[in-house]
């Protein structure tokens, strides 16, 4: 078991990599190279300091992620049911494997520039707003995949996904008090930029070079 990050002992980090990557021609886009590391390695460099433990939600053979040294958890709902099924999977894992965890913080696996202070900001926003959960935003646009989810709502989410067939994150969060954290776009770089196409990967290389020179 990796050492626990004491400041965020109550938070499990969930990196969502369960998509089909159709626009990238299939395969795991998070394993594509970006600079001297993979996209996933960049994501984990930013996620791990913010959480107690990190897990990866991915389907298929987990061996392809062995080098990253973290649990690989497939969707507990069949059929590539989307990010909400990934969040459900993360809450289920946390309830069974991290009894100290009160929250699961989710991140997309293809966003190498995500904020390094996102989790503390989400926790603060949820506490100040007495909210059930929190999500990120940038440029006035919400990014519900980057969210803070209470483990106590595992049963509610399971019912929504498994029984009622809800697939969109917004359709579930609409039933709760949701805090929103606006993250700045600096130097023309949106921290939630995600690489969906080969053209996006070329742009990500340019962004990484810009950050390296800054």
Which tokens sit at 25? 């021609």
Top-confidence residue, 22 or 95: 95
Q: Please give the pLDDT value at position 25.
A: 41
The sign of the dihedral angle between the CA atoms of 112, 118, 119, 125 is negative
**128-180 tens-digit pLDDT:** 999 999 999 999 999 999 999 999 999 999 999 999 999 999 999 999 999 99
In the chain, where the domains are located:
6-213
**80-109 tens-digit pLDDT:** 678 999 999 999 999 999 999 999 999 999
Q: Please give the pLDDT value at position 26.
A: 53
Banded model confidence at residue 210, pLDDT cuts 50, 70, 90: confident
What's the rounded Cα separation, in Å, for the pair 36 and 39? 10
Do 36 and 84 contact (CB within 8 A), yes or no? no
* Mean pLDDT value of segment 47-59: 96
Bridge pairing between strands 53-57 and 37-38: unpaired
In this prediction the pTM is 0.91
Residue 193: CB atoms within 10 A of its CB come to 18
Residues 6+ apart with CB under 8 A from 2: 53, 54, 69, 70
Cα angle 165-157-95, degrees, rounded to a multiple of 5: 135
Give the percent of the chain with pLDDT over 70.
92
What's the rounded Cα separation, in Å, for the pair 135 and 142? 7
Q: Please give the pLDDT value at position 33.
A: 94
**Domain 6-213: CATH class, spelled out:** alpha beta
Please state, rounded to an integer, the average pLDDT across all residues of the chain.
90
What's the rounded Cα separation, in Å, for the pair 133 and 163? 22
């Amino acid at each position: 078991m990796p050492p626990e990050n004491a400041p965020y002992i109550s938070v499990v980090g969930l990196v969502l990599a369960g998509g089909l990557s159709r626009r990238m021609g299939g395969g795991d886009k998070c394993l594509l190279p970006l600079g001297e590391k993979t996209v996933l390695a960049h994501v984990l460099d930013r996620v791990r300091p913010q959480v107690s433990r990190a897990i990866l939600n991915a389907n298929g053979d987990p061996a392809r992620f062995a080098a990253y040294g973290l649990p690989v958890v497939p969707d507990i709902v069949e059929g590539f049911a989307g990010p909400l099924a990934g969040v459900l999977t993360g809450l289920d894992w946390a309830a069974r494997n991290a009894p100290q965890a009160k929250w699961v913080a989710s991140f997309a696996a293809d966003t190498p520039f995500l904020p390094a202070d996102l989790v503390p900001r989400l926790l603060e926003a949820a506490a100040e707003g007495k909210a059930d959960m929190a999500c990120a935003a940038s440029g006035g646009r919400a990014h519900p995949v980057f969210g803070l989810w209470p483990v106590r709502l595992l049963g509610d989410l399971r019912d929504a996904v498994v029984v009622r067939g809800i697939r969109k994150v917004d359709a579930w969060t609409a039933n709760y008090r949701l805090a929103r954290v606006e993250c700045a776009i600096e130097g023309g770089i949106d921290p939630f930029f995600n690489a969906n196409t080969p053209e996006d990967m070329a742009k990500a290389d340019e962004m990484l070079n810009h950050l390296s020179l800054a």
